[in-house]
Structure formats: C-alpha cells, structure tokens
C-alpha cells in the first residue's frame, strides 16, 4: 500500500470553538499526525525507526504557527509536510495547511532524535543517516 506524503483532514463540529472556527490546539494535533504520516509515506514508522536505533524517537522541542485563514466545519484541509533543515541532533519540519487551494496555516516543528542516558534521562542524540535519507527522499 502506498501512502501519500500529504495528509487530508475533514474538520468536524468538535474540532471548532464557539465561533465556529477550528480551535487552534487541533492544528498542533494535525501537524503531529502529518509528521507521522510523512514517516509512513517512507514505508516505516516512528516506532520502527526508534526500535531499530535503540532510541525514544523524535520528540517535539519547538513549534511555531501562523494562522492565515480560518477554517470551519466541513472544510477539507490538506497538510503538506517536508523536512526543511537538518542539524546534527535536530531537524525542522515545515507544514503548510491548505483549505482548498488557499494557504490557511503555516507551521514549523523542531524535533530532535532522542534516547536515554545511563541514568535513564532523555537526551538528544545524533540523527541516524537512515532517517535523513528516508525523509529527504520525500
């Protein structure tokens, strides 16, 4: 089964605030899902990569969001995601959320590759080449 790299979401009544527009935390939930969907489009998952490299995975360390156009019940949103920049232990994922052909939201996530040290504390680790290769191919 082939997974498309973009994610489509239909806005439901419960996704909206009393003004009838998407309640902003839902965008954070959807961009997180879009990142995991991007991984699935490579033929792997967050859990498989973490297990293969003895890591926790890719925790979110920063997020920035710009709201450009409101969306509401019944709207179909398309989320396009791409890794914009790599660092040694962190990477930046750009998400563009379209309502029809109109850009409604822009977001950037910063994630790190993480594992546990000898004391069990979470710490950032160098990003495996496999992860870079998989996501750069998208």
Question: Which residues are the active-site residues?
Answer: 17
**Cβ atoms of residues 115 and 98 within 8 Å:** no
Strand partners, 7: 79
Whose CA is closest to 96, among 48, 1, 27, 26? 27
Q: Could you give the CA distance from residue 17 to residue 45 in angstroms, rounded to a whole number? A: 32
Distances (CA, A) of 14 to 21, 56, 100, 110: 10, 32, 21, 28
């Amino acid at each position: 089964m082939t997974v498309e790299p973009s994610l489509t979401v239909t806005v439901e009544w419960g996704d909206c605030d009393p003004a009838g527009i998407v309640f902003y935390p839902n965008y954070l939930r959807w961009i997180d899902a879009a990142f995991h969907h991007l991984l699935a489009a490579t033929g792997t998952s967050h859990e498989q990569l973490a297990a293969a490299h003895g890591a926790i995975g890719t925790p979110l360390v920063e997020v920035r969001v710009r709201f450009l156009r409101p969306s509401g019940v019944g709207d179909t949103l398309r989320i396009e995601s791409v890794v914009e920049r790599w660092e040694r232990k962190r990477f930046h994922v750009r998400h563009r959320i379209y309502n029809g052909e109109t850009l409604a939201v822009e977001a950037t996530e910063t994630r790190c590759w993480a594992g546990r040290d000898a004391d069990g504390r979470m710490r950032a680790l160098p990003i495996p080449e496999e992860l870079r290769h998989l996501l750069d191919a998208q």
